[in-house]
Amino acid sequence: MESGRTTSNPQLRRGLCYSNVERKPSVIVIGGGMAGIAAARALHDASFQVVLLESRDRIGGRVHTDYSFGFPVDLGASWLHGVCKENPLAPLIGRLGLPLYRTSGDNSVLYDHDLESYALFDMDGNQVPQELVTKVGEAFESILKEAIFFTDKIREELSSDMSILNAFSIVFERRPELRLEGLAHKVLQWYLCRMEGWFAADAETISLKCWDQAMHSANFLQNIQEELLPGGHGLMVRGYIPVINTLAKGLDIRLGHRVTKIVRRYNGVKVTVEDGRTFVADAAIVAVPLGVLKVKSIKFEPKLPEWKEAAISELGVGIENKIVLHFEKVFWPNVEFLGVVAETSYGCSYFLNLHKATGHSVLVYMPAGQLAKDIEKMSDEAAANFAYLQLKRILPNASAPIQYLVSRWGTDINSLGSYSYDTVGKPHDLYERLRIPVDNLFFAGEATSSNYPGSVHGAFSTGMMAAEDCRMRVLERYGELDLFQPVMGEEASVSVPLLISRM
Ligand SMILES: Cc1cc2nc3c(=O)[nH]c(=O)nc-3n(C[C@H](O)[C@H](O)[C@H](O)COP(=O)(O)OP(=O)(O)OC[C@H]3O[C@@H](n4cnc5c(N)ncnc54)[C@H](O)[C@@H]3O)c2cc1C
């Protein structure tokens, strides 16, 4: 499918003629994250000629398992959200025998860890009494309930959406008794900080509307516009990358191929990469992150329709990072999460204790939103030191880390953000608009998933969906709809129980 350096249209036609003679439909997949790899796998298994172009020198995208400590550590995704057989990734994870460590049996997006697994401290290193942690957790739920209760009224009055932060202020004005003071206020800010981590964005930019039907749901604290699968949240103990590597086996993947231009004509596509080489095929699947589409570093010819461009610009993309600290030995309490409470959510922080799940003496500091942006301006060393200083506040005798890793999902030109979220005043159907194909261009990736945005299983589902849409469209032209074989093969559809533990 590589067509040489020429960019003229006859070349494009020649490439397509070739594949017609061979009667092998062809597709170019752009982006080798979960969505792109899933799409490429499905179409390869359906006898398509598939080339996957990936800008980085590795596959996986926002799934990035690092082995430099001598054991796997995920710098991107690490949880399977929805540890259940309905999760589209469950058959594969089960088949690979990959163990999961369940951090919460609750489906709530607020509590991907059970409350009793937290140890929170104030800035002076005093541990917050556990009863207060639980009490404020319940108060946080009540405030959200109130916010949701007022939503309809607020809408009547203001006829618009508002941010979570704005809704909180309104609730406090109307129900002053829900206001918290002193340490309880700081713990509340910590819960807000955790919520901001879930959306990778600050509370003043997160839409209240995405919670508004929650009152009518069985589990009211779930974000109802997304579909939260049952089974709680499970950490991938051996890292996420084995899932990607399994799907990628045998595919034609070209690393270091940054796509800069996509030309579409009625009978095919021509894709140009940074060094000028071009590739032609019947169709393309665009599976690059929303952040990359936003900066328009890929030129589309003809331009994408206005509704698609609007969806790209209006959907939010947030930042969450990981600063992984490896210590000689464990000196912290035996809990899953260590937290620092503060006056504002910006000042709060938390560490995931990987020792519980993996046995390695590792803490993962996870800043989100503005804090994550600010930390990305620092060098790796300064960022690691910043995280270490937070730890020293709560555990003054903390020893210095022996190794560290720092992610930069916000400024990395291959991602330009961590994952998508609903911003204030924008409709949830932006995800669907982002997914809808344009001629022979198909779109996949977490930000095209209406049901499971911002997740690995969401990215996987959209990859499969784009592959199926593409297959139907291309084969319509070839008149061979029966060419298709089941996407994952029989093996993967066999249900293997997930290996779940909690220590
Ligand atoms: C810190 C962090 C924590 C997370 N935690 C979780 C979690 O615990 N559980 C969960 O389910 N999800 C989590 N997520 C979200 C999850 O990682 C993503 O939703 C998912 O991996 C996105 O997959 P994707 O295929 O849509 O995009 P990506 O994985 O970003 O893949 C896109 C690919 O396109 C490539 N690319 C970019 N530009 C070009 C170009 N011009 N030409 C060619 N290739 C290009 C990129 O290099 C990349 O490989 C987390 C994300 C982050 C950042």
| Cα separations in angstroms, 262 against 276, 299, 303 | 12, 6, 10
Model confidence, pTM: 0.90
Q: Tell me, what DSSP letter sits at residue 127?
A: B
Query: Quick one: pLDDT at residue 213?
Result: 40
Query: Quick one: pLDDT at residue 114?
Result: 63
Q: What is the 3-state secondary structure (H, E, C) of 190-233?
A: HHHHHHHHHHCCCCCCEECHHHCCHHHCCCCCCCCCCCCCCCCE
DSSP SS3 for 289: coil
- Rounded to 10 deg, the angle between the 164-174 and 182-199 helix axes is 150
**Residue among 208, 237, 269 at smallest CA distance from 53:** 269
DSSP SS3 for 337: strand
φ and ψ at 427, to 5 degrees? -70, 150
> In Å, how far from its chain's centre is CA 456?
6
Q: Is 300 in the pocket of ligand 1 (CB under 6 A)?
A: no
**How many helical (H) and strand (E) elements, i.e. helices and strands, does the chain have?**
15, 24
Q: Is 26 in the pocket of ligand 1 (CB under 6 A)?
A: no
DSSP SS3 for 76: coil
Spell out, as residue ranges, where the chain has pLDDT lower than 70. Answer: 3-23, 106-116, 151-159, 210-227, 479-497, 501-503
- CA 179 to ligand 1 centroid distance, Å: 38
Q: Is 197 in the pocket of ligand 1 (CB under 6 A)?
A: no
Q: Is 288 in the pocket of ligand 1 (CB under 6 A)?
A: yes
Q: Is 273 in the pocket of ligand 1 (CB under 6 A)?
A: no
- CA 296 to ligand 1 centroid distance, Å: 18
Query: Quick one: pLDDT at residue 106?
Result: 65
- CA 249 to ligand 1 centroid distance, Å: 19
DSSP SS3 for 429: coil
Residue with CA nearest ligand 1 atom 47: 414
Q: 259 labelled as ligand-binding? A: yes
Q: What is the DSSP string of 9-71?
A: HHHHHHHHHHHHHHT--EEEEE--BHHHHHHHHHHHHTT-EEEEE-SSSSSBTT--EE-TTSS
- CA 202 to ligand 1 centroid distance, Å: 20
Tokens of 480: 């061979």
Q: Is 417 in the pocket of ligand 1 (CB under 6 A)?
A: no
| Cα separations in angstroms, 323 against 15, 227, 318, 384, 401 | 46, 29, 17, 6, 11
Q: Is the Cβ–Cβ distance between 309 and 491 less than 8 Å?
A: no
Query: Quick one: pLDDT at residue 405?
Result: 98
Residue with CA nearest ligand 1 atom 38: 414
Q: Is 317 in the pocket of ligand 1 (CB under 6 A)?
A: no
Q: Is 82 in the pocket of ligand 1 (CB under 6 A)?
A: no
Question: In a mutational test of the pocket of ligand 1, which residue from 81, 241, 288 has the highest number of ligand atoms less than 8 Å from its CB?
Answer: 288
**Torsion over CA: 408, 414, 34, 232 (sign):** positive
**CB environment 219-236: b (16+ within 10 A), e (fewer):** ebbbbbbbebbebbbbbb
Q: Is 103 in the pocket of ligand 1 (CB under 6 A)?
A: no
- CA 80 to ligand 1 centroid distance, Å: 14
The whole-angstrom separation of Cα 446 and Cα 459 is: 4
Q: Is 308 in the pocket of ligand 1 (CB under 6 A)?
A: no
Q: Is 81 in the pocket of ligand 1 (CB under 6 A)?
A: yes
Question: In a mutational test of the pocket of ligand 1, which residue from 456, 461, 465 has the highest number of ligand atoms less than 8 Å from its CB?
Answer: 456
Query: Quick one: pLDDT at residue 489?
Result: 37
Q: Is 36 in the pocket of ligand 1 (CB under 6 A)?
A: yes
The whole-angstrom separation of Cα 220 and Cα 212 is: 10
Question: Phi-psi region for residue 497, left (φ > 0), alpha (ψ -120 to 50) or beta?
Answer: beta
- CA 75 to ligand 1 centroid distance, Å: 11
| Helices assigned H by DSSP within 377-455 | 380-394, 430-435
The CA angle 220-221-224, to the nearest 5 degrees, is 75
Question: In a mutational test of the pocket of ligand 1, which residue from 57, 62, 421 has the highest number of ligand atoms less than 8 Å from its CB?
Answer: 62
Query: Quick one: pLDDT at residue 15?
Result: 38
Q: Is 31 in the pocket of ligand 1 (CB under 6 A)?
A: yes
- H or E element: which one contains 406? strand 403-406
Give the position of tokens 């082995």. Answer: 67
Query: Quick one: pLDDT at residue 12?
Result: 37
The whole-angstrom separation of Cα 419 and Cα 81 is: 14
Q: Is 416 in the pocket of ligand 1 (CB under 6 A)?
A: no
**Residue among 66, 69, 68, 96 at smallest CA distance from 78:** 66
**CB environment 289-310: b (16+ within 10 A), e (fewer):** bbbbbbeebbebeeebeeebee
The whole-angstrom separation of Cα 153 and Cα 151 is: 5
Q: What is the ipTM of this complex?
A: 1.00
- CA 393 to ligand 1 centroid distance, Å: 33
φ and ψ at 233, to 5 degrees? -120, 130
Return the half-sphere exposure (C-beta side, CA atoms, 13 A cut-off) of residue 278: 22
DSSP SS3 for 4: strand
Query: Quick one: pLDDT at residue 1?
Result: 72
Q: 243 labelled as ligand-binding? A: no
Residue with CA nearest ligand 1 atom 33: 31
